Structure 1
Amino acid sequence: MKLKKMKLRTKVFAYILIFAMIIIALLWVFQIVFLDDFYKMIKTRQIQSTVDEIADHIQDNVESNEMESFLYSTVINGEYCIQVWEKDSEANGKEYYTRLYQDVLTNPGICGYQNDTSISVEDHDLYMQASENDGEATMSSSNSISLPSGVKIKNDFDGITVGRIIYTEDDTKYFLIVNSRISPVNETVDTLVQQLGIITTVLLLLAFAIALIIANNVSRPIQKITAKARHLGKGDFDIHFDGKGYLEIEELNDTLNYAVQELGKVENLRNELIANMSHDLRTPLTMITGYSEAIRDLPGEDTKENIQIIIDECTRLTNLVNSILDLSKIQSRVEELKTEKFNLSEQVRTICERFDTLLKKDGYEIQYIQDTEEDVYVEADQEKISQVIYNIIGNAVHYTGEDKKIYVRQTCMNDIVRIEIEDTGKGIKEEDIPYVWDRYYKLKTNHKRQELGTGLGLSIVRGILELHAVRYGIISEKGKGANFYFEFPKVKE
């Protein structure tokens, strides 16, 4: 089975076990395979640090008793062999070096500070390496060590030797050798192998148990959510997600519960839309059919009034179908904007005058208020903005209060112009405002056939304004009317 097709519980379980095995493998590699290398590396660094300290003392007080005291202290604390030679003459020091180094092999200790000119070190292998390497060289010794004048000393242990050429302030040259024994790690490795075997077994058992617990705790809440989520596909919106365990699951529960509520609302709106659309389509068709049959079958029914009713119902049906098509185009982003610069103030003013003239006989009053004497220009699709203004004013006429007043305001704020259309009706509850833009939204009342418009106007308004990517909204309180507004950036005339 591929890892990407595994269940979450299996993946979590596998990841934790893999992590545990990686940790165990690292322990074995570093504690067993590379133990000797790490030990030698650390020992070499310690010796080099000791060489630095001794070199500083030689440069400062090579003739003092403090020097010998420091060397003895270093030997005892670090278990080193230390040798110091002053630059020598041509004499052969073979016998001296042989005796000196055999003393060193017996016990770690100071091999002496020697300034006898009868001793030569320039033939020493370590000295020659140091001379070619900025005055310092490191040599690992095993079984035998070469001394000056070709002498080789047999030994039974491994060691590390560091040599350094030192110059004092009076340009006197000294050669410092620090040697340290390297203890064999075979016994340590054998001990670690046994310990790591036990540790590996315990860690694997613990990792298995912990992985099983974590995998179950992580996957169980998700499995519960998945089981409930399957009901959504069946149209069951009465479920409630209540899984617990960790923060992300609780946040997912809240999100899914919110989604369920919204899906329920959408489903209700869909059902209402179908019912309302069926009603609005069936009503004009019924009237057209009825009056047509009356004209056909009944003598004297062939009147202008009956024919005008048929024409009006056909017009209403055409407008409804056109509104549905417009809304469909806008929501599918098929509709393209034909932007141009135009006088927004003049356009709003003209539409208000048309409404006022048309509705004055019914007692309606449309008041247009402009805060500046100069007209404002914007860049937008003029035809669609006209449609926006018509639809919002038409909606205000439908819902305004008993005084039948509608206020249309133009307000300029720096580089922004705001158009507000306010009615004096019953207003909208704050929690209902987001749904006002939905098709056939109604304020807790039964659907009735629109006397003006199609019931899709505000949905079309929202689509057009979103196509223009401008700010829009509703300001309303229950019982205080509703204020619809939209804003556009101003442009120069």
Structure 2
Amino acid sequence: MKTADRPGRRGRRRLGIKWKLLVYLLCFVAVMLGCLWLFQVVFLESFYKSIKEQNLKDCRAQVVRQLARQESPEDFLATLALKEGVAAAIYTTQGQLRYSVVTSPGETITRLGSNTIDQLAAQIEASGEILFVSAPRLQYKSWMAADDGGGYLFGKSKFPTQLSPPELNIQPRDSTIDNIQTLILGTAVSLPGGEEGYLFLSTALTPVSTTTQTLQVQLIYISLLLVALSAVLALFLSRRITSPIVSISQTARELAGGNYSVTFHESGYREAGELAETLNYAAEELSKVDHLRRELVANISHDLRTPLTLIAGYAEMMRDLPGENTPENLNVILEEVNRMSSLVTDVLDLSQLEAGAQKLTPTRFSLTELGRETVERLGALLAPQGYRLIWSADREVQVQADENKIYQVLYNLVNNAVTYTGADKAVFVSQTVREGMAYLQVRDTGKGIAPDDLPYIWDRYYKQTGSHKRPTVGTGLGLSIVKGVLELHQLPYGVESSSAGTTFWFAIPLAEGDAPPAGR
């Protein structure tokens, strides 16, 4: 036969908080490092060029605005070169250099020939602007050796071009040969005085390979450091988080073992404190339930012991004493048997109500007739003992509910009132109608219920302090059954008590078509 695993065994097969935190932190670190590698290494060059391109376009817009004001752009171009590191050259449509500012000797854009200007102008007229990267300076040297002069402007063009190196006619640089490229932006502009021309802006593209290598080395060390820190942080956090939980878990085992006096310490973080507070409340309620359960067992034992003792006593007397086998003695035995049967039935009804096993079968019936018949039946039964049950109703009403269960409610309320009524042995049962509801009240003339007991008299197993007595009619479990039935119907109910007596009440909506008379 397959046996269920104990909670402890199931828990050992799962990852603890320490390891889960470690896994989560490592995953987070891996994601962050992956992002760093992508953005700082893989896409670094792409981002660098995009930023440079956008910077050139922003500078182009500023120069165009300056030219639109018909002012000489020389001072502005000098400022632009100083702040942004952008070289600038403005040519007329005839290829004449009108304005220029360089950031390094031998700047390419200041040495364009007329043929080159014509070819670039054609590209500008076709596309609106041109944006390209010049060849690395290392290529100038090799081309010079092959062709004895000239220059190669385009290393990697971003637009189709038909230009060939000899046609550009650009003088090579005499500066140090290196692998630096130049990003060039060209566009048409209007010069001061209304003349048309072309603006060329350039900025150096420093190779990022060395930077990338540096970042790779740094990221390796950062990765190792972050992995180590995540492990340490996981251990630290797991202890801080699990410490209150472990303490609560150990105390909960004591609670499960039946020790309801345990206290859960509200330490640590807020959620652990709230859990401890909730468990303290649960322990307190379980302690109350256990106490009430013990009282219930004691009370039921008391109520069962009395009829059993009477039955045994009368049976022995009828067996041992001649002439005692009388109908009166047999009637006492039958009454006690009926009392025990009622007690067992009430206990079963209460258990079914609390378990939600009982179902409603609503029907339309006369609440007034039900109340009248219940009072007459119980009044006739209790009259020989001196009890008076008085019924009153303002009018006949019809309701829609489970008639048998409403009778059970009324029967238990009347029995409870009979048990605790005053010396006059009077119980008043009344029916009133207001605002579409029929109210039934059961009032006794006893000494009332203590205010401290009122909130608890409906609770299961509860009895008033020092008030347990063998009921005249019923079993003493009536109020718990009344609460269960009325809540099953979702009906309002309540109790009012004073030194002059106690009144229990409940209300049922009038059945459809049974509206109260006008003015009520």
Q: Same fold (TM over 0.5)?
A: yes
Aligned partner of 2:123 among 121, 128, 133:
128
Aligned partner of 1:36 among 29, 45, 53:
45
Distance, in Å, in 2 between the alignment partners of 1:367 and 1:110 is: 117
Distance, in Å, in 2 between the alignment partners of 1:86 and 1:376 is: 107
Unaligned runs of 5+ in 2: 1-9, 137-151, 155-160, 174-178, 515-520
**Does residue 49 of the first structure (1) align with residue 42 of the second (2)?**
no
Which letter does structure 1 place at the counterpart of 2:269?
Answer: Y
Aligned partner of 1:264 among 283, 287, 295:
287
Aligned partner of 1:145 among 149, 153, 166:
153
Q: CA RMSD in A?
A: 4.0
Residue 453 of structure 1: CA displacement?
A: 0.3
2:71 aligned residue: 64
Distance, in Å, in 2 between the alignment partners of 1:411 and 1:365 is: 21
**Does residue 247 of the first structure (1) align with residue 254 of the second (2)?**
no
1:370-418 deviation line (CA, Å, top 9, x unaligned) = 6xx5544432112211211111122122123445454545455534444
Residue 480 of structure 1: CA displacement?
A: 6.6
Unaligned runs of 5+ in 1: none
Stretch deviating more after TM superposition (452-461 or 280-289): 280-289
**Does residue 213 of the first structure (1) align with residue 219 of the second (2)?**
no
1:330-345 equivalence runs, <5 A: 330-345=353-368
- 3-state SS in 1 of match to 2:475: coil
Distance, in Å, in 2 between the alignment partners of 1:321 and 1:186 is: 91
Which letter does structure 1 place at the counterpart of 2:80?
Answer: T
Aligned partner of 2:488 among 454, 467, 490:
467
- Structure-2 change in CA distance of 1:446 and 1:361 (3 Å): closer
1:484 aligned residue: 504
Residue 427 of structure 1: CA displacement?
A: 3.9
1:77 aligned residue: 83
Distance, in Å, in 2 between the alignment partners of 1:109 and 1:408 is: 112
1:19 aligned residue: 28
**Does residue 229 of the first structure (1) align with residue 252 of the second (2)?**
yes
Stretch deviating more after TM superposition (436-445 or 457-466): 436-445
- Structure-2 change in CA distance of 1:220 and 1:435 (3 Å): same
- Structure-2 change in CA distance of 1:300 and 1:243 (3 Å): same
1:264-286 deviation line (CA, Å, top 9, x unaligned) = 22222223333333343344344
CA contact (8 A) 2:124 2:187 kept: no
Distance, in Å, in 1 between the alignment partners of 2:287 and 2:129 is: 83
- 3-state SS in 2 of match to 1:455: coil
Which letter does structure 2 place at the counterpart of 1:77?
Answer: K
- 3-state SS in 2 of match to 1:5: coil
- 3-state SS in 2 of match to 1:64: coil
Which letter does structure 2 place at the counterpart of 1:227?
Answer: Q
Distance, in Å, in 2 between the alignment partners of 1:242 and 1:395 is: 43
- 3-state SS in 2 of match to 1:106: coil
Distance, in Å, in 2 between the alignment partners of 1:473 and 1:11 is: 52
- Structure-2 change in CA distance of 1:378 and 1:85 (3 Å): farther
1:455 aligned residue: 476
Residue 339 of structure 1: CA displacement?
A: 0.8
Residue 245 of structure 1: CA displacement?
A: 1.0
- Structure-2 change in CA distance of 1:467 and 1:140 (3 Å): farther
Count, aligned residues: 474
Stretch deviating more after TM superposition (305-314 or 7-16): 7-16
- 3-state SS in 2 of match to 1:162: strand
**Does residue 383 of the first structure (1) align with residue 404 of the second (2)?**
yes
Stretch deviating more after TM superposition (297-306 or 3-12): 3-12
Distance, in Å, in 1 between the alignment partners of 2:196 and 2:384 is: 121
Distance, in Å, in 1 between the alignment partners of 2:298 and 2:25 is: 56
Distance, in Å, in 2 between the alignment partners of 1:392 and 1:319 is: 15
- 3-state SS in 2 of match to 1:223: helix
- Structure-2 change in CA distance of 1:141 and 1:488 (3 Å): farther
CA contact (8 A) 2:74 2:100 kept: no
- Structure-2 change in CA distance of 1:25 and 1:369 (3 Å): farther
CA contact (8 A) 1:104 1:111 kept: no
1:442 aligned residue: 463
TM-score by length of 1: 0.80
1:132-174 deviation line (CA, Å, top 9, x unaligned) = 4xx3453344435349964455784223333445589x99865
CA contact (8 A) 1:342 1:379 kept: yes
CA contact (8 A) 2:491 2:506 kept: yes
Distance, in Å, in 1 between the alignment partners of 2:314 and 2:386 is: 31
1:404-415 equivalence runs, <5 A: 404-408=425-429, 410=431, 412=433, 414-415=435-436
Aligned partner of 2:202 among 163, 172, 179:
179
Distance, in Å, in 2 between the alignment partners of 1:399 and 1:409 is: 18
Distance, in Å, in 2 between the alignment partners of 1:137 and 1:466 is: 83
CA contact (8 A) 1:120 1:148 kept: no
Distance, in Å, in 1 between the alignment partners of 2:329 and 2:338 is: 14
1:71-110 equivalence runs, <5 A: 71-85=77-91, 106=105
Distance, in Å, in 1 between the alignment partners of 2:13 and 2:39 is: 32
1:308-363 deviation line (CA, Å, top 9, x unaligned) = 11221222222223223333333333322111233334433543455556556655
